[in-house]
Structure 1
Amino acid sequence: MNEATLADALHSVRITTDGVRASVTLDGHEVSSSLSGYTLEHRANQPPLLVLYARPPIDGVAFDGCAQVAVASEVPPADAIVAFLTSIEPARLQQAALNRDDLDGSPTELTSAMLRQLTEWAGGRA
């Protein structure tokens, strides 16, 4: 027998935003502090679909509750990746990679160093 999921039923959803930060309420329960992001999609003749990106640990998120809701298993959404990469200054990235102490002398050392540098920056490490 199949178990019911949050996406099987419609839930009351309210999203308010100041243009930078959003507040997400599901069935009267404010859940924003448990989220790292969300995606809202609406197609003709279908109910809206709200995908929530939960902050770890996911078992700390409680959903009690008119959109279909699905909790995503991976973060971040593609838009966040694009925004991060377009914010990178090429000269700064190149210099940071050249200044690394883990260059290995391989033919792809600069590319590898840039990828490691981007990974560190994306993880919040300066």
Structure 2
Amino acid sequence: MTMPEQPTEPQAHAVHIDGQPGQATIRIGGEALPPGTVTGYVLQHDISAALPMLILHTRQPDGVAFQGLARVAVGVAKTSADQICEFLNAVDPERLDQEALNRADYGGGPGATARAMLMTLTEWARNTEGGTR
């Protein structure tokens, strides 16, 4: 069995979403998805990327595992705790120690080093490049 050729670039489709609390009507290429099919959606757009990405969460008709076209990516969603642990595991402890102690706002007193480290980690978390190995 031969597989059909897959496009190398994602295909763009015209999308119209009329979202109301508790319901949404979604049209793809002018065709409305059947009522009750979509249970949720995520619209994600990185401004520097060419196109936004729409992820639809669907409910399929009884007896049908899936019906339709899809690009499939398999992964496990990360929890906030997983992301925090991943970030902390990538921190260079020597650099954290040095930068925390050299902060201009290092005030001294009880908890000063921990406070300076937490402030440094917060800054690094906002800019994920800094402070990691």
Structure number, greater radius of gyration? 2
TM range (shorter): 0.3 to 0.5
- The two structures have a TM-score, normalised by structure 1, of 0.44
Higher helix share: 1
TM-score (norm 2): 0.42
